[in-house]
Amino acid sequence: MRGPPGQVAIGAGIAALGIGILAGAFFLPAGGGYAQVGPGVVPRIVGVLLIVAGGFLLREALTGGFRGVDEEAERHLPMNWVYFAWASGGIIAYGLLVEHLGFIVASTILFVMVARSFESKKWLLNVIVGFVLASAIFAIFNYGLGLMLPLGLFQKLVS
């Protein structure tokens, strides 16, 4: 009995999440108060529910795969890891850079990298469009709605 590895991993992962929550719940008081139901009771229930759901998913995965998921059709949509990495890298770069380079520069980098993940190689155009969009959002949300987006590199220019 072998199932699609991704599906098996998901079933096991959900069950593992349930085990983790159940384990964590035992550090929380279950009694106390008038209700005699403390903050630990619902986590115990949710933990058990996740373990049961994970178990059933594992069973489906091992006995012919998840019902209604067509692994054959999925093979016609091959996973492109390069594009996946461009989009992922864009978001992670944003998280790493936004405080140092500021909102506008980090957003421009994100824009260019995500556009690249959709096969766009018009680098200059994407830099310009990304920069203009980010500047417009910065102006509207910082001055209009009072969000505090970081200026970063532009801090010196302003002050």
Partner 1 sequence: MDVWAQLLQGFQVALTMQNLMWCLVGCMLGTAVGVLPGVGPAVTVALLLPITTKVDASGALIMFAGIYYGAMYGGSTTSILLNTPGESATIVTAMEGNMMAKRGRAGPALATSAIGSFVAGSIATVGLTFLSPLVVELGLKFGPPEYFALMVLAFTTVSAVLGESTLRGLASLFVGLAIGLVGIDNQTGQARFAFGVPQLLDGIEVVTVAVGLFAVGETLYAAAKLHAVKEELESWSGSVWMKLDDWKRSFGPWIRGTLIGFPFGTIPAGGAEIPTFLSYAMEKKLSKHPEEFGKGAIEGVAGPEAANNASSTGTMVPLLTLGLPTSATAAILLSAFQQYGLQPGPLLFESNSALVWGLIASFYVGNVMLLVLNLPLVGLWVKLLAIPKPQLYAGILVFATMGVYGMRQSPFDVFLLYVIGLVGFLMRRYGFPAAPVIVGMILGPLAEEQMRRSLSISQGSWSIFVTHGISAFLLGLTVLVLLLPFVMRHLKKRKAVAG
Ranges within 34-93 binding partner 1 (CB under 8 A)? 34-39, 41-43, 46, 49-50, 53-54, 56-57, 60, 66-69, 74, 77-81, 83-84, 86-88, 90-92
Query: Are the CB atoms for 33 and 41 separated by under 8 Å?
Result: no
Residue whose CB is less far from partner 1, 1 or 77: 77
Q: If 0-12 CB within 10 Å is exposed, 13-18 middle and 19+ buried, where does residue 152 land?
A: middle
Q: How far is the CB of 66 from partner 1 (least distance, A)?
A: 6
Q: How many helices (H) and strands (E) does the chain have?
A: 7, 0
Q: How far is the CB of 28 from partner 1 (least distance, A)?
A: 6
- Greatest Cα pair distance in the chain: 67
Q: Which of 1, 73, 124, 145 binds partner 1 (CB under 8 A)?
A: 145
Residue whose CB is less far from partner 1, 91 or 153: 91
Residues 114-143 that bind partner 1 (CB under 8 A): 114-120, 126, 129-130, 133-134, 137, 141
Residue 29's SS3 state is coil
Q: How far is the CB of 4 from partner 1 (least distance, A)?
A: 9
Angle at alpha carbon of residue 22, lines to 19 and 28, rounded to 5°:
150
